[in-house]
Amino acid sequence: MNILVSAASSLAPSGYASLSSKILADNGPELPSLNDFLPPEIIFAGTPFAINRIMLVRMVATVVILLVLGITAARAKVIPGRWQGAVEWVLGFVRDNIVYQILGELRGKKYVPMITTMFMTILVFNLCGVIPGANIAATATIAMPLVFALWTLVQYWAAGISAHGLGGFLKEELFPAGVPWPVYILLTPIQLLEIILIRPFSLTLRLFANMLSGHLLVAITLAMSNYYLIELQSTAMKAVGAVWFLGGFALTGFEIFVAALQAFIFCILSCVYINQSLGEE
């Protein structure tokens, strides 16, 4: 350790990059890994109701959403205050820019509660990844996105069946009109796979992998800055640490953006799938 520090202080700034990577290879900081997403159980361990940190984050986040929305709704006034205005803006955004934009006002009315629930839950769960104390996106394990994707799956099957009947829905999805019949040999299995497997799977994977990679990025930059600025007591390496720290800030901002974007995309795609099942009008 002492040898490294003296070597660091004696080197010119040009050798920074190579030196910092050399120090890293010799005694690296504690980097985040996939084990972050498999934390130990903290209560009811060993039973089917075992709860770990991520589930606790989910529960707290759910309670927070319910409390905030419930209190805002209970105190709603005709002339909205600043807070009520903000909440109404979010709800209005989901209704107008997501549901009505894709499904249209007439058909979309039924799906506004579902999509609003999805949007708020996914948004808050995603934002848990940058909230200090939680520090992990509640959607970053595969279970939570899978639940939402299965909900979408059920909804677009139900929409299709109620609009065309089971046979009509399958005929519309599996044998799209205007295609020469030999193409069906190729197209039908792909379409079948698409409506059963690929759609929910891709919805799940997108949200889950985005949150997982986002957490790893932020955690790596902050672990590196902690290592260079504090643990490695060398003034020469402080600049490297500062760069990592700045990167951590930038990536945290980027994570907030991704959290909102992923919630938006999940809801948009749910609407698109439902719209496809309902068919053209």
Partner 1 sequence: MDFVTLAEVAGNISVLGYGIAALGPAIGLGIMFGKALESTARQPEASGKLNVIMYIGLAIIEVLALLGFVAFMMAR
- Taking the least distance from each CB to partner 1, the nearer of 17 and 63 is 17
Q: Please return the burial class of 225, using the count of CB atoms within 10 Å of its CB with bins 0-12, 13-18 and 19+.
A: buried
Number of residues binding to partner 1, judged by CB under 8 A? 15
Select from 3-11, 163-171, 233-241, 266-274 the region that touches partner 1 (CB under 8 A).
266-274
Is the CB of residue 111 less than 8 Å from the CB of residue 103?
yes
Select from 159-167, 218-226, 231-239, 260-268 the region that touches partner 1 (CB under 8 A).
260-268
Task: Name residues contacting partner 1, limited to 30-59 (CB under 8 A).
Answer: 34
From 123, 120, 124, select the one nearest 61 (Cα to Cα): 124
**Coil, strand or helix at 51:** strand
Which residue in the block uniquely carries the two structure tokens 């992990």? 136
Give the x-and-dash track for 193-222 against partner 1 (CB under 8 A).
---------x--xx--xx-xx---------
- State yes or no: residue 272 binds partner 1 (CB under 8 A): yes
Q: CA–CA distance from 189 to each of 173, 185, 196 (Å)?
A: 11, 7, 11
In sequence order, the β-bridge partners of residue 279 are none
- Taking the least distance from each CB to partner 1, the nearer of 121 and 270 is 270
- State yes or no: residue 146 binds partner 1 (CB under 8 A): no
Cα 108 versus chain centre, distance: 24
Q: What letter does residue 40 receive in the DSSP assignment?
A: P
- State yes or no: residue 141 binds partner 1 (CB under 8 A): no
- Measured CA to CA, the distance from residue 69 to residue 231 in angstroms comes to 43
Is the CB of residue 126 less than 8 Å from the CB of residue 264?
no
Select from 147-155, 184-192, 249-257, 265-273 the region that touches partner 1 (CB under 8 A).
265-273
Select from 62-70, 87-95, 218-226, 262-270 the region that touches partner 1 (CB under 8 A).
262-270
- Measured CA to CA, the distance from residue 136 to residue 82 in angstroms comes to 29
Task: Find the shortest distance in angstroms from Cβ 9 to partner 1.
Answer: 22
Task: Find the shortest distance in angstroms from Cβ 262 to partner 1.
Answer: 9
- For residue 276 the two structure tokens come to 């496809």
Give the x-and-dash track for 147-186 against partner 1 (CB under 8 A).
----------------------------------------
- Taking the least distance from each CB to partner 1, the nearer of 60 and 268 is 268
Q: Please return the burial class of 21, using the count of CB atoms within 10 Å of its CB with bins 0-12, 13-18 and 19+.
A: exposed
Instruction: Count CB-CB contacts under 10 A for residue 204.
Output: 22
Task: Name residues contacting partner 1, limited to 102-131 (CB under 8 A).
Answer: 102
What does the binding site for partner 1 look like in residue numbers (CB under 8 A)?
Answer: 34, 101-102, 202, 205-206, 209-210, 212-213, 264-265, 268-269, 272
